Structure 1
Amino acid sequence: MTRGRYNASLSIFFVSYSVFEPLTNILLKRLRPSVFIPIIMVIWGLCMTFMGFVENWSGLMAARVRLPLLPSSTQLTCLKQWFLGLAEAGLFPGINYYLSCWYRRSEFGIRAAIFFSAAAVSGSFGGLLAAAIVKMDGLGGRPGWAWIFILEGIVTVVFGFLSFWCVHDFPDEAKFLSEQDRARVIRRLKMDKQSSAEHEEFKMKYVIMALKDYKMWLGMVIYMGCDMPLYAFSLFLPSIIKQMGYSSTTAQLLSVPPYALAACLTVLIGFIADRTHQRGLCNIAVAFIGIVGFSMLLGSDDAHVKYAGTFLGALGIYPCIANTISWVSNNIEGVYKRGVVLGFVIGWGNLNGIVSSNIYQNVPYVSGHSTVLAYMIVCLLGGSVLLRFLLARENKARLAGKRDHWVEGMSEREAEKLGDMRPDFLYTL
């Protein structure tokens, strides 16, 4: 497959992956996690498995949607990639939304970090696993890369079926809890100014409330500032390392240490941010590390310096993903509003994966490194500084009593329905 076709197949995946993410948390709430999450895992695994049986480009690009700019032999969109993105769309926003409905705001960050660190760990082991599985080349008449899809897809399907018995519902419906335990969980969340664990009927006004909230839009800017670099890094790290003069197998093995270190820092930042309630400052500090790393990749010709840059790049990207999700989630209240906001934030960030799949075209990848650097400086760093400033200013106004008139004449229950707009709700900085 040529580089252009490879990038096109990635772009198709990111379109379906991103477009459906804002809707998935609504489905998750209505269908229940114990049903929704296992189903999408099984479908996702099946899509991966079937991709291992693709024979050529036309097989990969299998949907009946014409693309006029492509030759007639490839006037088909990537059905398998499209459905892979569609199935996978609900997992990341869904798991984060699900966790945010179980834990207090000061407890969520470390859990989101542990969950996302699995992505860094999978990147670490993925390099080792790919190097091993590719040696199955020719077995059963399938190339080595096909066995990667087949084996990893089968494992995903197995875990998907197991999830039907492992995944529980939201606190107000969790069957493994007694009535007293459910009430206790909801009560401790209410003490944290949260009502997300309670039952709420979906209304279109919650989507409108989300769209009117500046925190969602700034969250989208910040998240795209770390998510596009994340995909660029994870998709092209072996190619970046190979360009330093290493063989393909060695490049796969050398991609392991940066991921492993990034996983450790992701969990550490989650712990620190929970304890200090300073998620914005954590984002800013970590962003500087990533900016230095990609500056080294862009500005040096020395292989050792560039490889060191991959470590700093990973350290500057991965912790910001989980921390940004935690930060946005902490500052959005309301059952459906939070779900919609997380869907839009994550969906917009992932849509920028289209950019990441098309910027690393030519060695020495100057345009790729430059684009990643610009995203991290303008969106991640700049957006984090601006959002923290606005939240701190609003907290100051609320503590001074300047927002108390918002709840005048309201009952306590009516005030609760204001969510993060209630005057006693203080934002996490």
Structure 2
Amino acid sequence: MSIETALTKELKGQEVILEPSCDTGIYCPDVDTSGVDERKLMRRIDWHIVPWLALLYLLNFLDRGNIGNAKLYHMTDDLHISDKQYLVALTVFFFPYSLFEPPSNVALKKLRPSLWLSFIMLIWGIVMTLHGVIQSYAGLIALRFFLGLAEAGLYPGIVFYMSCWYKRTELGTRVGVFFSSATIAGAFSGLLAAAISNMDGVGGKPGWAWIFILEGLFTVVCAVASFWILQDFPDTAKFLSDTERVWVIRRLQADMKFSAGGESFKMKYVWQSLSDWKTWIAMGIYMGFDGPLFAFSLFTPTIISQLGFKATAANLLSVPVYAWACIMTVVIGFLGDRVKTRAYINLGLFGTGLVGYIILITSTNPSLSYFAVYLAASAIYPTIPNSVAWVAGNVEGSYKRSATLGMAIGWGNLNGAVSANVYRAVDKPWYRLGHGIVLAYIAIGWLCSLAFYVLLRRENARRERGERDEVIEGMDNKHADEKNGRFESVYAARVEKGDLWSGFRYSL
């Protein structure tokens, strides 16, 4: 059998038996999975995985951004802090939040998701609750630092965790549904803040303090519940039978996720991520939407309030913006899985953002500016699940993928330290400096998406021409080259090389 024939069959998801003495690569070959109902099982997996993760991320986003709502209810006045000090407090959050993400993802893989994610959630819930009892600027700085440290692992952890359950053509829809909770959090935070502010004076505490206390306590309750509700990886998940576990892992391996059956940690997987050009371009894509995301989520109520609306009205007017973003996020997640060309979607969404922020920079009309906020939301939020699925689907090897996602998301979030400082009080009411910086971020995202597409397409073409073919013992292949490696079987090559294997095809 030639290597071309073997690779073609494996690309179609068929089980390839190279030779009787070779490792076939079939996970648990003695288990018969013919009786598994795919649609029924995938629906059960969805119900066990997606809804609870969406709730956790809703709380993550709500707790991270509610300081913007609290500011409208005189938090800065009561703590006697200036606008510059407030921006510093926002900035402090992002350094531990960004730097802790890559090691947190590796820890998640080595530990159980049900243990690690629940633990960090418990810590940030306690820290969030303590926001409601601070009396000074120093206390605010300390709590924002620890909040960033604790929240760091959730988002990249969930993204990596979901990539270990779903095929590349299924991930976008699930991430879209999961990430839509961020838009719900944006809308819900305004409604919740407006309602909780009516507790002003209860227990001798101002309304803004109760926003932190009540939301923090609810997070603590959900963290404790997560220890029992969260599932682990497919090979150990308790809600699956032995046969169902085998079926899930086999379908993932047929979709180029060869490490689905388990992988031992080796430091070389982290170095593979660091030396891969895809990691660095992915960081640029994430920079393109994460910088705008944090600016948008932290300052939307402030921006709207400067268009002539008071605090409660500004919070309430942010609700339909996030509702629209939620709809767009789910629709684009679904569309990305069906169209299977995520590059064009990314370019279109980033392009919409460019138009929106150009309007915000040039407009002096409140109605037109409010419309541009919708365009901005249409670009920022839907781009995230599409990009997440695109990057995750093009990196194979579970530890390599966890490191790549951790680095990309961490770098993207680090730019929140910049965008948290771009909307200065001296620039109101139109905030042209802030809008201009966000516009630059979106332009970077557009350019990096284009580069990612062009380079992936070029690499696929090289593999089609056989330029990346490895030497496989016992196989005659005129394109095979020692510089691409020598392996005893196709299975050994794909496990060792991951997405660098010549038979791996990148999704565009």
TM-score interval for Structure 1 and Structure 2 normalised by the shorter chain: over 0.9
**Which residue number corresponds to residue 143 of structure 1?**
206
| CA RMSD, Structure 1 to Structure 2 (Å) | 1.1
Counterpart of 2:90, as a letter, is L
- Equivalences for 1:192-341 in 2 at 5 Å? 192-341=255-404
Once the two structures are TM-superposed, the CA of residue 79 in structure 1 deviates from its matched residue by 2.1
- Equivalences for 1:69-88 in 2 at 5 Å? 78-88=141-151
**Which residue number corresponds to residue 441 of structure 2?**
375
Once the two structures are TM-superposed, the CA of residue 47 in structure 1 deviates from its matched residue by 0.7
User: For each residue in 1:42-62, what CA deviation from the matched residue of structure 2 results, as whole angstroms up to 9, or x when unmatched?
Assistant: 1111110011111121322xx
**Which residue number corresponds to residue 421 of structure 1?**
500
Q: State TM-score, norm by structure 2.
A: 0.79
Once the two structures are TM-superposed, the CA of residue 33 in structure 1 deviates from its matched residue by 0.5
Counterpart of 2:103, as a letter, is L
**What secondary structure does 1:200 align onto?**
coil
Q: State TM-score, norm by structure 1.
A: 0.94
Q: Is the 8 A contact 2:487 2:493 kept in 1?
A: no
User: For each residue in 1:370-404, what CA deviation from the matched residue of structure 2 results, as whole angstroms up to 9, or x when unmatched?
Assistant: 00011111x11111111101111111221222222
**Which residue number corresponds to residue 102 of structure 2?**
22
Alignment counterpart, residue 134 of structure 2, candidates 41, 54, 72: 54
**Which residue number corresponds to residue 70 of structure 1?**
none
* Deviation larger for 352-361 or 197-206: 197-206
Q: Structure 2: which 5+ residue stretches go unaligned?
A: 1-75, 77-81, 470-479
Once the two structures are TM-superposed, the CA of residue 197 in structure 1 deviates from its matched residue by 2.2
Mapped to 1, the partners of 2:263 and 2:183 lie a distance apart of 35
Counterpart of 2:502, as a letter, is P
Count of residue pairs the alignment pairs up:
411
Mapped to 2, the partners of 1:292 and 1:360 lie a distance apart of 19
Mapped to 2, the partners of 1:424 and 1:82 lie a distance apart of 45
Mapped to 1, the partners of 2:329 and 2:397 lie a distance apart of 27
User: For each residue in 1:98-118, what CA deviation from the matched residue of structure 2 results, as whole angstroms up to 9, or x when unmatched?
Assistant: 000001110011111111110
Q: Is the 8 A contact 1:103 1:189 kept in 2?
A: yes
Q: Is the 8 A contact 1:198 1:335 kept in 2?
A: no
Mapped to 2, the partners of 1:81 and 1:245 lie a distance apart of 30
**Which residue number corresponds to residue 388 of structure 1?**
453
Mapped to 2, the partners of 1:281 and 1:243 lie a distance apart of 35
**What secondary structure does 2:265 align onto?**
coil
Mapped to 2, the partners of 1:200 and 1:149 lie a distance apart of 41
Percent identity for Structure 1 against Structure 2: 50
Q: Is the 8 A contact 1:407 1:422 kept in 2?
A: no
Once the two structures are TM-superposed, the CA of residue 203 in structure 1 deviates from its matched residue by 1.4
Counterpart of 2:286, as a letter, is Y
Counterpart of 2:231, as a letter, is H
**Which residue number corresponds to residue 13 of structure 1?**
93
Counterpart of 1:221, as a letter, is G
* Deviation larger for 179-188 or 393-402: 393-402
**Which residue number corresponds to residue 55 of structure 2?**
none
